[in-house]
Amino acid sequence: MSKRSVILIIEDQADIRSLIRMTLEMGNNEIHEAENGDSGWHMVRALRPDLVLLDVMMPGTLDGYQVCQKIRNEPSIKETPVIMLTARGQQSDFEMGRQAGASAYLTKPFSPLELIDTVDSHLAQKS
């Protein structure tokens, strides 16, 4: 039996968090959720997840880019795959995600299959 992966979803919209949770619970995943960048950053440090799904635009003092940068600057978790999720699909948005250290960038709306494929490929690279 394969190792259970710990995935943290940081997304302010409850319906999107729920959809992601339902999609990823079908696999061998332990899912945790945060509704803003501040609580998400706290949970990243406490949980040390195998993968983070991170919305870009969120309420609070930290947006997704800032959370991603914090993860990349923290030696013990800097290798954690971070998949940015956003409705913003301009080239400049992708560039900001790349500069922040995002492993991948999915534009909303994304398909459940696209999400599963992206998550699975990044978890496989990590193991």
pLDDT of residue 2: 60
Q: Quickly tell me which residue has 């299959």 as its tokens.
A: 113
Cα–Cα distance for residue pair 53/4, rounded to 1 Å: 17
pLDDT of residue 1: 40
Q: Give the CATH fold of the 5-126 domain.
A: Rossmann fold (3.40.50)
C-beta of residue 49 within 8 angstroms of C-beta of residue 8: yes
Render the burial of 74-108: b for 16+ CB within 10 Å, e for the rest.
Answer: eeebeebbbbbbbebeeeebbebbeebbbbbbbee
The answer to whether the peptide bond before residue 59 is cis (omega within 30 degrees of 0) is no
Sheet architecture: strand order including 5-10: 29-34, 5-10, 51-55, 82-86, 104-107
pLDDT under 70: residue ranges of the chain: 1-2, 127
Whole-prediction pTM value? Answer: 0.95
Please report, for the chain, the start and end positions of each structural domain, with discontinuous segments joined by +. Answer: 5-126
Report pLDDT digits (tens) over 53-69: 999 999 899 999 999 99
